[in-house]
Amino acid sequence: MIKKNPDHLFNLRKMSDESLRDYIKRFKAEKANIVGCDDQIVSSAFKRGLPTECELYCELTISRHQTLVEVFATAERYALWDDDRISTKEADQSRQAKRMASADHNLRNVLQQRRGTLSSLSRYTRSWPK
């Protein structure tokens, strides 16, 4: 294990495609590589790694004097909310994809029926006397 400087934590950022839960796990794993790190530095680095538009960033900014345990407890609550938001979004996308597939299938059936009607109509009109 390579010993890292506590300043290393300030280089960690939550990636845009990363869930809050994954960022927490990654941050804690990096923190585990640092021996004797001050909790206030860890709290500041964790908050600094969040995007400013993140609700958790706002919460941690408003509630400034939290212990590290409280910071991570707050983060875990927000992670539950983030997990729910992500699963709801995925379920909505899945439902929409199924609706689109069903609509596409229905459209193909209608077009096939019309082609069949046109083809039989064409055969019928060819047999008309001239």
User: What digits encode the pLDDT tens for the residues 3-41?
Assistant: 678 889 999 999 999 999 999 999 999 999 888 889 999
- Quote the pTM value: 0.65
CB 24 within 8 A of CB 76: yes
Query: Of 43-52, 79-88, 93-102, where does mean pLDDT reach its minimum?
Result: 93-102
Q: Which fold has domain 6-126?
A: 1.10.1200
What are the residues whose beta carbons fall under 8 Å from the beta carbon of 51, sequence distance 6 or more?
14, 16, 57
pLDDT digits (tens, 9 = 90+) for 59-93: 999 987 789 999 999 999 999 998 888 888 777 77
DSSP notation for 47-109: HHTS-TTSHHHHHHHHS-S--HHHHHHHHHHHHHHHHHHHHHHHHHHHHHHHHHHHHHHHHHH
pLDDT over threshold 90, residue 130: no
- Residue 124 is predicted with a pLDDT of 58
In whole angstroms, how large is the CA radius of gyration of the chain?
Answer: 29
What is the residue extent of each domain of the chain? 6-126
